[in-house]
Amino acid sequence: MRIGDRSVTPAAGWTLTWLDREHGVVRLSDGRRSRLALVEGVGAEWVVTIDGRRIEVAATTWRERVLADADVAARAHGGPIEVKATLPGLVVAVTTTEGAEVGEGDALVTIEAMKMQNEVRAPRSGRVAHVAVAAGQPVAAGALLLRIE
Amino acid sequence: MRIGDRSVTPAAGWTLTWLDREHGVVRLSDGRRSRLALVEGVGAEWVVTIDGRRIEVAATTWRERVLADADVAARAHGGPIEVKATLPGLVVAVTTTEGAEVGEGDALVTIEAMKMQNEVRAPRSGRVAHVAVAAGQPVAAGALLLRIE
Amino acid sequence: MQPPFRRLLVANRGEIALRVMRACGELGIETVAVYSDADAGALHVAAADRAERIGPPAAAESYLSADAILAAADRAGAEAIHPGYGFLSENADFARAVVAAGLTFVGPPAATLAALGDKLAARRSAAGAGVPIVPGLTVPLDDGEAALDLADVGFPALLKAAAGGGGRGMRRVDRPEDVAPALAAARREAGAAFGDATIYLERLLAPARHVEVQLLGDRHGNLAVLGERDCSVQRRHQKLVEESPAPGLTAAQRDALADSARRVAGTVQFDNAATVEFLLDGGGNHYFLEMNTRLQVEHGVTELVTGLDLVAWQIRVAAGERLPEAVLHAEPRGHAIEVRLYAEDPHHDFRPVPGSVGAWRMPGGPGVRVDAGVGADTMLPSEYDPLLAKLLVHDVDRPAAVARLRRALDETLIGGVQTDLSFLHWLVDEPGFVAGAYDTDLVADRWADGPPVSAEDEALAALVAAEARLAGISSSPGRADAPAARPWAEAARRAALRERPGAPRR
Amino acid sequence: MQPPFRRLLVANRGEIALRVMRACGELGIETVAVYSDADAGALHVAAADRAERIGPPAAAESYLSADAILAAADRAGAEAIHPGYGFLSENADFARAVVAAGLTFVGPPAATLAALGDKLAARRSAAGAGVPIVPGLTVPLDDGEAALDLADVGFPALLKAAAGGGGRGMRRVDRPEDVAPALAAARREAGAAFGDATIYLERLLAPARHVEVQLLGDRHGNLAVLGERDCSVQRRHQKLVEESPAPGLTAAQRDALADSARRVAGTVQFDNAATVEFLLDGGGNHYFLEMNTRLQVEHGVTELVTGLDLVAWQIRVAAGERLPEAVLHAEPRGHAIEVRLYAEDPHHDFRPVPGSVGAWRMPGGPGVRVDAGVGADTMLPSEYDPLLAKLLVHDVDRPAAVARLRRALDETLIGGVQTDLSFLHWLVDEPGFVAGAYDTDLVADRWADGPPVSAEDEALAALVAAEARLAGISSSPGRADAPAARPWAEAARRAALRERPGAPRR
């Protein structure tokens, strides 16, 4: 089991009871106290909610892990990165232009959603190759905002 | 649509909205007031719960209805009837014996379930051909209690 | 606050087990559930910190087995046992065994359970303390002298079990000559239910109201009288609806009830929670019925009007705490009503209905409390009481509380089994209930098996069924083990039975 | 009781629309819901007697469109409109248009909304009535004179929008020379949010507590002051937790707050419900902030301690009813706490989280109230406020209420999206909160983005995931349209983003 970049050993001495398989509700007990938890996901990718906090757990095999690491490495060091909207909303500002050099963490686009203004920042440094949106434009989750090379 | 032995016309002027298809929860509105209802069942046989009351509705075609009527007629007038337990419990008394003549509605067997004593009565008059249970015996729902000829 | 106990075992199931565990959670006490094989997947097991199996489904071998429960408490390292209501809650031998095992019994002293568990002895004590009792015998009815000294009792009368409770062993007799035959049946039922076939006779007071007074005492001699509850909406001498304050009582009547309740408690060494039950006749005179030395099902009604947590206080006084002034002089506020949601068919003598709950939608919002023992798709073991949940409302006065109850019922949906919800929908619009003018005959006199389904409801049911067939809905699509499909099979079986001409329709 | 109106339109959505409809149900009033295209399947639509579409998802074209709402009221034959909170609730033009259309606006008079909607004018009026105000400007800040007369204000200070509310248009400035640059941003935000870019400056009082007083008035000159609420647990100047009474106030401080609230109400012609907000400094001195001329999100806290139904009273006084003595002199009882359940990630600046709710388990039992706007598998439209539900508890005193809140949180489960539940679990054990010693800096100072996941919780999460994989569980087995699968996709996307080295981790 992996959480973030660390390997985590499942808790020993706790028993798990399924309360609602459809919704992934479980009860955990160590014989002294019990806690409710929720699990969602499929295959190797799970989110476990304990005391209201979502904890992402990768239940990967060795082979899956090697492939995933290779993919992450490729995205980090080579080729262009597409920056996409992580939530639907209205573009209220584009604070970079095509051709501009941006540093990791620089603000690129501001999207208003659920009454909040959310800044989209550069995942790594590079040159802005293409800007796909303009202020005033509504975007869906996953929509391309711009490309960094 | 049939309720009991009568044909019932679905209500006009009401709109139906599904709130939870999985559990059969619907909202009914005539534009002035609305009511919640629940529907369970499959095929031609439904139970609709309105204001807490379960109403059995047969959504039968003409062909299904003819076949069902023929079956009911056969059971009412000919052949032996098997009297079965309608709920699981403990047989606390058998108040008839093999060979006895019983009238419609006569008490035959008492079953205790959920802290209540429930009397099983004769669905029609006849002679008790076989008694399958004795006092002190637990029975499952659907278990044969006795046969009337 | 230091928890009163480190770990407490709840010797019960269903909604009351959950209720006790909630109190423990708030007090910082670890909880131990017990369960029979029929309850391995029950909500009260899921809610506990730890769970212990105590036996097969039959209550006699599990929830009524003092040995099994004490063994579970030992295994789990519990310091105290809360018995809930029913089962072993008023069993003096069990209370004694708990204390002998070095644990705390959350309830009155064993001697008090013994003294008040004998309803006949309690009648004598109450009368001795100057409390009016229901006219009738204060000694057991012998088989031989059945027709003897009954002239003074007055008829109609009720045969009652001395060890009784919950309506079992009770029989109505209309004339002296009916006593002998009814006595045999009453003895059989009482013997089976309580292991004690002692029967006595009381005049049947009717019309009458059932009003009870909540007591809470500590081990330092303090006693709080926490108002009354009217529990007159009954079927089979068992309560369906309770409210506080009782409608239409004068201040003098209320004070007299409180005074009588205090006097009854004074006949024993009392602490913890108990309820003194009375009948009120048409003239507002009250008569002692019995004292229940345990938490009542309907304690939440008193919690809503007083703002107190009675279960938490049971546990705290059991640990030796003193009741503070705020409890001893709690003032009621507003009006509370509880309705019990039962898996019972109110259109067929409130007969318990086996099966599984399907859909489960409970109301929310202001002034609504739900204490549930089941949820969606919960199996209902046939071995136990068919209580599913208690729905309680609280508002500034009775008319507002009734309106709130009506609103809450409109939000409530239970699938899978017939429940008494249809009765409750009728009740909140029943003129006598709405006016607060009702007595223990309400269900028998005004409901019987309920009105026929209205033409509008039949037309709506037909509409819904037609749409369901069109929409390709089925009870529980895509689930192989579909518990909700079973109730339908049951319903189909009953429908088939009913279609047969000449089948009895009770 | 005769219903105050025959039919009422609720010009809102989510939990508050349901709350108003519950009050209507109890008063016998038929309800009309309005909905945008994003809300066609929302709970508030299902709860209404009748529903009217008012436009596309964008609030400006639906819930903020007075024309669309008045047209819906006309089609539905509504006699009154309840605006809830937010949206058009404090819009004087809307209130005027409702009255002009011959309907009743359930809220204070339009002129009162106008007078108190200008926060600067309200500051002047309050000061004129002898109420202490937060030190700062009582006139708008001009671009030119930004650095002019700010010496008296004191720094740090806050730029605030005159038409403001909800923290928008607000900017902290630490030195006079920071005012000019921050002003531009504040103006832009205020202009976009309110259509009015007027900005003023107040000293930033910190540490301070946010305490507000609930008012309820009728049209016959009667005014009830229904106690205060402490709303100091905030993020982004928006409330997360509210309680009543405010911890640690002396009787004199409480009386002074009530007196100030009365004075502010006296500056206008007031009826219906409103709230006067104050800051309390470390010395217990209070300063007027603003008066909200509408129902507050947190009104339920006051309902629990007073036992009154504020929404029902809003409707009744709008119909001309007089407040009775029982309301005018309502005495609070016990302690109530509300926590707001938001689809927000408290580990990332409380950022709103889009998606769908999966599992949905709310607590029950004694002293717990839930006002929810969503249920299991509800889609969350990104256009609106991410409030999911309010969880309220009531008990005899603050320690008991905190214990009850902890117990209720332990029963609560929400799937599909990160919520602020993890923050609330932390809060109920935070020593300052438990002691009642906290101020508006609590979230920023003591929470930040929260502690890291404990080793035990990580090990438990690994256990649960391993068991889920073994059991062949998937987010929502057997359901083709599986709304609960979407949050997972979202989570996977976020996880992928985070795995990329160098991705920002805010």
For residue C481, the model assigns a pLDDT of 33
Token output for D196: 């009015």
pLDDT mean over A48-64: 85
Distance from CA of B132 to the nearest CA of C (A): 20
Range name among C25-29, C467-471, D21-25, D212-216 with the lowest pLDDT average? C467-471
D139, pLDDT greater than 90: no
Rg (CA), chain C: 23
B29 contact D CB<8A: yes
Neighbours of chain A (3+ CB pairs under 8 A): C, D
Partners of residue C412 in chain B, C-beta under 8 Å: 52
The neighbour count for residue C256, using CB atoms within 10 Å, is 18
SS3 A16: strand
Query: Could you tell me if D323 and D373 are in contact, meaning their C-beta atoms sit under 8 angstroms apart?
Result: no
The set of residues, in sequence order, having a beta carbon less than 8 Å from that of D73 and lying 6+ positions away, is D9, D32, D81, D98, D101, D103
Q: What are the CA-CA distances from residue D93 to residues C57, C246, D114 (Å)?
A: 67, 49, 8
Token output for D485: 């699968």
For residue B70, the model assigns a pLDDT of 55
For residue A68, the model assigns a pLDDT of 56
CB pairs under 8 A between C and D: 96
Interchain contact, C473 vs B104, CB within 8 Å:
no
For residue D18, give the nearest of B20, C364, C393 by alpha carbon.
Answer: C364
Query: Could you tell me if D237 and D206 are in contact, meaning their C-beta atoms sit under 8 angstroms apart?
Result: no
**Helix H or strand E encompassing C74:** helix C66-76
Band of pLDDT at residue D506, cut at 50, 70 and 90: very low
Query: Could you tell me if C76 and C83 are in contact, meaning their C-beta atoms sit under 8 angstroms apart?
Result: no
Catalytic-role residue among C235, C294, C369, C404: C294
Residue scoring higher pLDDT (D42 or C165): D42
For residue B90, the model assigns a pLDDT of 83
Interchain contact, C46 vs A31, CB within 8 Å:
no
Interval D36-49: pLDDT, tens:
999 999 999 999 99
Length of chain A: 149
For residue B68, the model assigns a pLDDT of 56
D95, pLDDT greater than 50: yes
How far apart are alpha carbons B19 and B27 in whole angstroms? Answer: 7
Mutation target among C10, C24, C50, C374 for the A interface, most CBs of A within 10 A: C50
Rounded to the nearest integer, the mean pLDDT of chain D is 90
Query: Could you tell me if C13 and C44 are in contact, meaning their C-beta atoms sit under 8 angstroms apart?
Result: yes
A72, pLDDT greater than 60: no
Query: Could you tell me if D281 and D206 are in contact, meaning their C-beta atoms sit under 8 angstroms apart?
Result: no
B69, pLDDT greater than 60: no
> What percent of chain D has a predicted confidence (pLDDT) above 70?
92
Residue of A nearest to C44 (CA): A19
Residue of A nearest to C41 (CA): A19
The set of residues, in sequence order, having a beta carbon less than 8 Å from that of A110 and lying 6+ positions away, is A91, A92, A93, A94, A95, A117, A118, A119, A120
Of C369, C403, C479, the CB nearest to D26: C403
Residue scoring higher pLDDT (C423 or B2): C423
pLDDT mean over A61-89: 64
Band of pLDDT at residue C248, cut at 50, 70 and 90: very high
Of B18, B36, B57, the CB nearest to C461: B57
pLDDT mean over B54-72: 69
**Per-range mean pLDDT, top range of B121-125, C174-178, C296-300, C464-468:** C296-300
C372, pLDDT greater than 90: yes
pLDDT mean over C364-392: 96
3-state secondary structure C333-347: CCEEEEEEEECEECC
Partner D, chain B 33-62, Cβ-Cβ below 8 Å: 33-34
Of C30, C46, C479, the CB nearest to A32: C30
Interval C436-488: pLDDT, tens:
999 999 999 999 899 999 999 999 999 999 898 888 776 543 232 333 333 33
The residues facing D224 across adjacent strands are D216
Band of pLDDT at residue B116, cut at 50, 70 and 90: low
The set of residues, in sequence order, having a beta carbon less than 8 Å from that of C445 and lying 6+ positions away, is none
C416, pLDDT greater than 60: yes
Neighbours of chain C (3+ CB pairs under 8 A): A, B, D
Interval D418-446: pLDDT, tens:
999 999 999 999 999 999 999 999 999 99
For residue C493, the model assigns a pLDDT of 37
Give how far the C-alpha of residue A82 lies from the chain's centroid of Cα atoms, to the nearest Å: 15
C499, pLDDT greater than 50: no
pTM greater than 0.90 (yes/no): no
For residue C490, the model assigns a pLDDT of 38
For residue D346, give the nearest of D233, D454, D242 by alpha carbon.
Answer: D233
pLDDT mean over D375-390: 94
DSSP B48-103: EEETTEEEEEE---HHHHHHHHHHHHHHHHSS-EEEE-SS-EEEEEE---TT-EE-
pLDDT mean over C299-314: 98
C280, pLDDT greater than 80: yes
How far apart are alpha carbons C486 and C475 in whole angstroms? Answer: 9
- Residue D130 sits at φ, ψ, to 5 deg, of 85, 20
Catalytic-role residue among D294, D316, D398, D404: D294
For residue C502, the model assigns a pLDDT of 35
> What percent of chain C has a predicted confidence (pLDDT) above 70?
91
C194, pLDDT greater than 90: no
Band of pLDDT at residue A91, cut at 50, 70 and 90: confident
How far apart are alpha carbons B56 and B40 in whole angstroms? Answer: 10
Token output for C47: 């809610």
D262 is catalytic: no
> What percent of chain B has a predicted confidence (pLDDT) above 90?
27
DSSP 8-state assignment for residue D453? P
Interval B9-49: pLDDT, tens:
999 999 999 998 888 999 999 988 899 999 999 878 899 99
Amino acid at B29: S
Query: Could you tell me if D384 and D446 are in contact, meaning their C-beta atoms sit under 8 angstroms apart?
Result: no
For residue C482, the model assigns a pLDDT of 34
Token output for D246: 């405010």
Interchain contact, B3 vs C491, CB within 8 Å:
no
Interval D144-153: pLDDT, tens:
655 556 777 8
pLDDT mean over D345-349: 96
For residue D479, the model assigns a pLDDT of 31
For residue C133, the model assigns a pLDDT of 96
pLDDT mean over C117-137: 94
How far apart are alpha carbons B10 and C462 in whole angstroms? Answer: 5
For residue B66, the model assigns a pLDDT of 58
For residue D476, the model assigns a pLDDT of 40
Distance from CA of D26 to the nearest CA of B (A): 14
The set of residues, in sequence order, having a beta carbon less than 8 Å from that of A85 and lying 6+ positions away, is A111, A120, A139, A140, A141, A142, A143, A145
pLDDT mean over C42-46: 95
Amino acid at C460: L
Of A88, A104, A116, the CB nearest to D351: A116
How far apart are alpha carbons C326 and C310 in whole angstroms? Answer: 13
Spell out which chain D residues touch chain C, with contact meaning CB-CB distance below 8 angstroms. 1, 18-19, 22-23, 25-28, 300, 303, 307-309, 311, 326, 333-334, 362, 364-372, 394-396, 399-400, 403-404, 406-407, 410, 477-479
A88, pLDDT greater than 80: no
